[in-house]
Amino acid sequence: MVLLSKTTTEQYSCTRNCKGTTFASGIPIIDLSKPDAKNLIVKACDEFGFFKVINHGVPVEAISKLESEAIKFFSFPLSEKEKTGTRNPFGYGNKRIGQNGDMGWVEYLLLTTNRDYNSLRLSPVYGQNPENFLIALNDYLTAVRNMSCEILDLMAEGLKIQPKNLFSKLLMDKQSDSVFRLNHYPPCPELQASNAEDKIGFGEHTDPQIISVLRSNNTSGFQISLRDGKWISVPPDHSSFFINVGDSLQVMTNGRFRSVKHRVLANGFKSRLSMIFFGGPPLSEKIAPLPSLMKGKESLYKEFTWFEYKKTVYASRLADNRLVHFERI
């Protein structure tokens, strides 16, 4: 049994599964319809950089339509999926993550969200009627972007930052450099043996952007790392969203909020499908600690543009700490 501090909404209760992974049945849960949401969001970001959102207002149909389009997409033969354009960085990818040698038990589709999907070749792989894929994608992204902005506004209010859209306006900007990712983790046959070791689906990393919004089907595998370095499994919940603080938000809060390290373990029997929206700022945006959050403390980071940070991100391996290059010594 691992003991954790009392969280925003409930006491973490942890059990160990047969492989010794700590399973947390309680993570901070934020009900967006409740008046105390803003304070609970701040508390969850202070403690974990991670929380689950319920009563989020994203229509169930928007989620299920995109999910079924994604299932159709991933069920095509590899050669067909590759015709949609291989990742560079956008497009279809299989096992290779990024450009620097990271591998995982995963296939994915990585897309820009600037509402111009010309980069996507409208191949029949996107379904009998490829337009349906784009409509589902657009509906989902609109709803999830709006929810992300609501969360960021509540966060700013909770932090007493003015104006309250200081974070959300970066995502609403036409030039916002946000990214969307569909990840499919097929069942991994190697894991079916009773003595099999864990296998990495998507290796440990932090997300570089401001905020990440994850939704998955009901297959487990997602884990977060606590401040003491222990990994805990997050029980899946297909009707909720999971929110991660990204590196840029860590910098803007001068290290107060933590960009949470996370990873996905492959499953021997069930497919996992996840959809992640990474809310990022425009390329020219300057990222630096907000003076109102410094309160006499020294700035921990040098100012950089999102463009500069992205260059560092794409030159790095998944598990690297990318912010060290921007820390003040």
CB of 110 to ligand GA4, least distance (A): 6
Told to check if 119 binds ligand GA4 by CB under 6 A, we report no
Instruction: Write out the two tokens for 248.
Output: 């840029």
Q: Rule CB under 6 A: is residue 313 a binding residue for ligand GA4?
A: yes
Tokens coding 171: 């995502």
Which one of 11, 190, 314, 321 is in contact with ligand GA4 (CB under 6 A)?
314
Phi, psi of 135 (to 5 degrees): -65, -45
Cis peptide before 282 (omega within 30 of 0): no
44 is a contact residue toward ligand GA4 (CB under 6 A): no
| Span interacting with ligand GA4, options 34-42, 98-106, 115-123, 218-226, rule CB under 6 A | 98-106
Catalytic residue among 145, 181, 215, 272: 272
Residue 103 found at the interface with ligand GA4 (CB under 6 A): no
CB of 211 to ligand GA4, least distance (A): 12
The pairs formed by 149-158 with CB atoms below 8 angstroms and a separation of 24 or more are 150/32, 150/57, 151/32, 151/41, 151/53, 151/211, 151/243, 152/210, 152/211, 152/279, 154/32, 154/37, 154/38, 154/41, 155/38, 155/41, 155/42, 155/45, 157/38, 158/38, 158/39, 158/41, 158/42
Judge whether 277 and 210 are in contact, CB under 8 Å. Answer: no
How large is the angle between the packed helices 60-74 and 130-158, nearest 10 degrees?
A: 130
Site string (173-192) toward ligand GA4, x via CB under 6 A:
------x-x-----------
| CA–CA dist 5, 40 (Å, integer) | 15
Nearer to ligand GA4, 67 or 207 (CB): 207
Given the rule CB under 6 A, which of 76-84, 236-244, 299-307, 312-320 is the region that contacts ligand GA4? 312-320
Report 45-84 residues binding ligand GA4 (CB under 6 A).
none
262 binds ligand GA4 (CB under 6 A): no
d(CA 280, CA 289): 16
Q: How far apart are CA 267 and CA 275, in angstroms?
A: 17
Least distance in angstroms from the C-beta of 311 to ligand GA4 = 11
Mask of contacts with ligand GA4, 195-214, x by CB under 6 A?
A: ----------x-xx------
Scanning residues 8 to 37, which ones bind ligand GA4 (CB under 6 A)?
A: none
Please say if 272 is a catalytic residue. Answer: yes
DSSP state string for 110-144: EEE-SS-GGGS---GGG-SSHHHHHHHHHHHHHHH
C-beta of 39: minimal distance to ligand GA4 in Å? 28
Between CA 195 and CA 86 the distance in angstroms is 35
Among 278, 306, 309, 326, binds ligand GA4 (CB under 6 A): 278
Nearer to ligand GA4, 110 or 143 (CB): 110
Instruction: Give the residue, chosen from 97, 125, 151, 170, that forms a contact with ligand GA4 under the rule CB under 6 A.
Output: 97
User: Counting contacts by CB under 6 A, is residue 102 touching ligand GA4?
Assistant: yes
With contacts defined by CB under 6 A, how many residues of the chain interact with ligand GA4?
Answer: 17
Least gap, CB of 175 to ligand GA4 (angstroms): 16
Q: Give CA–CA dist 133/69, Å, rounded.
A: 6
Residue 110 backbone dihedrals phi, psi, to 5 degrees:
-115, 125
Which residue, 41 or 110, is less far from ligand GA4 as judged by CB? 110
User: Are the C-beta atoms of 21 and 263 separated by less than 8 Å?
Assistant: no
- Rounded CA-CA distance 152/213 in Å is 12
Task: Determine, following the binding rule CB under 6 A, whether residue 269 of this chain makes contact with ligand GA4.
Answer: no
Q: Distance of alpha carbon 46 from its chain centroid, rounded?
A: 17
Which residues are known to be catalytic?
Answer: 272
The footprint of ligand GA4 (CB under 6 A) covers 89, 97-98, 100, 102, 110, 179, 181, 205, 207-208, 278, 313-314, 316-318
